[in-house]
Amino acid sequence: QVQLEESGGDSVESGGSLRLSCTASGNIINFYCMAWFRQIPGKERERVAVSYRGGAGTSSADSSVKGRFTISQDNSKNILYLEMNSLKPEDTAMYFCAARKLLGGCARRDDFTTWGQGTQVTVSA
């Protein structure tokens, strides 16, 4: 089974930028979809961006981060990225990447079968 490892989390000031990486141990082009989620302690894990069909399909950021976050993937390196700009304190969370191999839903936490361990992003005011 492919394993995922996130990196790039850091502490930044409001308005700053970060790029998160999710490195896979196998070919990510085979996944039906990949996504970034985030979670604050005590709250549900929420999706922030999704990429379909190895990046050849639709990719999008969810409404809470639209216009500031961009998801992309480099299939030659088996890396999923999340470019985060204009960061706000409310973006502070643990960020996870996730993958789903088979055709199906890609919206909810339960839709994904493979997860990384997470990387912490902290944004100070």
Residues 71, 53: Cα–Cα separation, whole Å: 13
Residues 107, 68: Cα–Cα separation, whole Å: 19
Does position 4 have pLDDT exceeding 90, yes or no? yes
Residues 48, 9: Cα–Cα separation, whole Å: 15
Determine the residue type at 51.
Answer: S
In the chain, what percentage of residues exceed pLDDT 90?
84
CA dihedral angle for residue 5, residue 21, residue 85, residue 46, rounded to 10 degrees: -30
pLDDT digits 0-9 by tens, 25-53: 999 888 999 999 999 999 999 999 999 98
- What was the pLDDT predicted at 1? 87
pLDDT class for 60, splitting at 50, 70, 90? confident
pLDDT digits 0-9 by tens, 61-74: 888 899 999 999 99
